[in-house]
Amino acid sequence: MNPTGDKMSAATPRAPAETASAAQLPAPGASHAVIEHHLPSRRSVWTRRLAILALIGGGIGFFVWQAHRAPAIPAWIVYGNGRLEADPIDIATKFAGRIAELRADEGDRVTAGQIVAVMDTRDLAQTLQKQQAQVEQAQKGVEEANSTAEQTRSSTVLAQQQMERAEKLLASGFATRETYDQRRQALDSARAFQNAAEHRVTEAQKALQAARHDVELTKVNIDDNRLVAPKDGRIEYRLANVGEVLAAGGKVFTMLDTSYVYMDVYLPTLSADKVKIGADARILLDAFPDRPIPATVSFRASRAQFTPKMVETKNDRDKLMFRIRVRVDPDLARAHADEVRSGLPGMAYVKTDEAQPWPDQFKPRPAQDKGK
């Protein structure tokens, strides 16, 4: 070995880059954990990216919610939730009988006076024919009574004339008192027969009127066996079928009066006390939240009552509530009769201060004002 060469090698300085690289690299015997500590973590990078995206998405969602959230309800508007209803009407039989024909079904629009069902009236038809024959018989009885009365009146006139002649002859001495008494008695008998005949005419006329009334009554009963819709509306339920025998008062249809549309809501005492009959109201249905329906308060309960289980209230702690009915204007209800659906849930809003205008979300759209 060359000692001089070794010294020169040891004394020769290394390059700065090589020295720095050697200082940064771990020792050959360092563990794997120490190596990972010096390398950047891919998981931490993705975590920071997701956090940034979440913050951006949350900010956008907040601004969207802020822009589209429903405006606050003013203090001068009270509200409650309920269901839109139309006044139900039962179409039922007046007499016991069998259904012969149905002329309407569920969902059909009907008008006032329209025949929706016909009952079997064959027995009434036979009764009507019998009564019409009795009317004819009573008419003949009246004619016979009138003939008899006319005959008795003629007899009375003749007896009156004979009595007057006998009275003159008796005064002149050409007739006896006996003859005069006979003529007087004949006149009294003729008058009695005439009175009796006239009474029989009256009785025959009353019998004729009674027979005619029976005919009219049977015709009314036949007409009542044609079931008609009492108002304009829509058939909601068909409760019987052709051929079924129903008792008197048996229901055949249930229809909805589409001109009487309302919503019953239940309000706590503090809110109900502010409501007045005739107050302006709005109905917002869950199915059509952007189409407010104008209405007015038509009823306010005078006594508190338990809230029915089918109705949910904002404050479950209130057990005693006042029932308030808001009714849709009949003309508006008729114009939208095809859109009336009983049972739709929604909210009714009542204005307690008439001087205040309705907020924008409760103002009807132009299409509604035109009845479209």
How is 329-366 classified by DSSP, letter by letter?
-HHHHHHTGGG--TT-EEEEEEES-TTSPPPGGGSPPH
Give me the residue spans of the domains in the chain: 77-87+257-369, 90-119+228-246, 122-224
Question: CB-side exposure of 61: number of CA atoms within 13 Å?
Answer: 6
Exposed, middle or buried: residue 65 (CB in 10 Å: 0-12, 13-18, 19+)?
A: exposed
pLDDT at site 313 = 53
State how far the Cα of 75 lies from the Cα of 340, in Å rounded to an integer: 30
**Is residue 11 predicted with pLDDT exceeding 50?**
no
Task: Convert the pLDDT of each residue in 335-372 to its tens digit.
Answer: 888 877 888 899 999 999 988 999 888 876 654 444 33
Q: Do domains 77-87+257-369 and 90-119+228-246 have the same CATH topology?
A: no
Out of 3.30.930.10, 1.10.8.100, 3.40.50.970, 2.40.30.170, the CATH code matching 77-87+257-369 is 2.40.30.170
Which residue's structure tokens are 């009769």? 337
State how far the Cα of 315 lies from the Cα of 223, in Å rounded to an integer: 53
Please state, as a whole number, how many other Cβ atoms lie within 10 Å of the Cβ of residue 149. Answer: 21
pLDDT at site 3 = 41
State how far the Cα of 357 lies from the Cα of 284, in Å rounded to an integer: 17
State how far the Cα of 367 lies from the Cα of 335, in Å rounded to an integer: 12
Assess contact for 346 and 328: CB atoms under 8 A: no
Task: Convert the pLDDT of each residue in 182-201 to its tens digit.
Answer: 888 998 888 999 899 999 99
Average pLDDT, the chain: 82
Cα-flanking dihedrals φ and ψ of residue 70, to 5°?
-70, 140
Q: Which H helix or E strand runs over 309?
A: none
Alpha helices in the chain (DSSP H): 3-11, 16-24, 32-38, 42-68, 122-172, 177-224, 269-272, 330-335, 366-369
DSSP state of 14: P
Topology of 90-119+228-246 in CATH?
Answer: OB fold (Dihydrolipoamide Acetyltransferase, E2P) (2.40.50)
**Is residue 66 predicted with pLDDT exceeding 60?**
no
Assess contact for 267 and 322: CB atoms under 8 A: yes
State how far the Cα of 252 lies from the Cα of 226, in Å rounded to an integer: 12
**Is residue 103 predicted with pLDDT exceeding 70?**
yes
Q: Which two tokens stand for residue 175?
A: 């007739």
